Amino acid sequence: MRESEVGDPGRVGPYEVLGRLGEGGMGVVYLARTAAGRAVAVKTIRAELAAQPEFRERFRAEVAAARRVGGFHTAQVVDADPDGSPPWLATAYVAGGSLREAAPLAADRLHSLAAGLAEALAAIHAAGVVHRDLKPSNVWPSAPPTAPSTCSIRSPAPSWPPSPGTG
């Protein structure tokens, strides 16, 4: 986690922002906490995207799709406000670093990670969702190497803008 920057919100919805987890094409992801102290990752959408009615509609659809995804290996949607200013999505916080930061992995850890990734993709596809942003920075090998559950996929909803030919 990085420190918040000038202009970052102190709160997003009901969540107190603690710092930045990352930034991408759609917006900024913050580490935040609930009133009870539980950690969540809150993704806020960039103002220029939020100003586009077609983007807001797609974001609403992405939130609905992400809520349908279950399973042990995906970061569950906790809350969202696609009509907020800015629009945002909160998921369970997955501690640790991404696969991009963790690589290379030992063979036994890699085996477990691959099995968890396959289970995550099966859960995503069973919900009728295609994850169009699957990459090492969205895979988190979060559990210790001896645990059966060793990965989570962030952002199970499709990315924006849509890929050509995918609508």
Where is the binding site for ATP, in residues? 43
**Catalytically annotated residue among 8, 79, 81, 133:** 133
Residues 6+ apart with CB under 8 A from 137: 22, 98, 99, 100
Distance CA 123, CA 129 (A): 9
- Which helix (DSSP H) or strand (DSSP E) does residue 58 occupy? helix 53-68
Q: Is 108 a catalytic residue?
A: no
For residue 25, the 8-state DSSP code is S
Residues at the annotated binding site? 43
Distance CA 94, CA 98 (A): 10
Distance CA 122, CA 49 (A): 30
Question: Catalytic amino acids?
Answer: 133
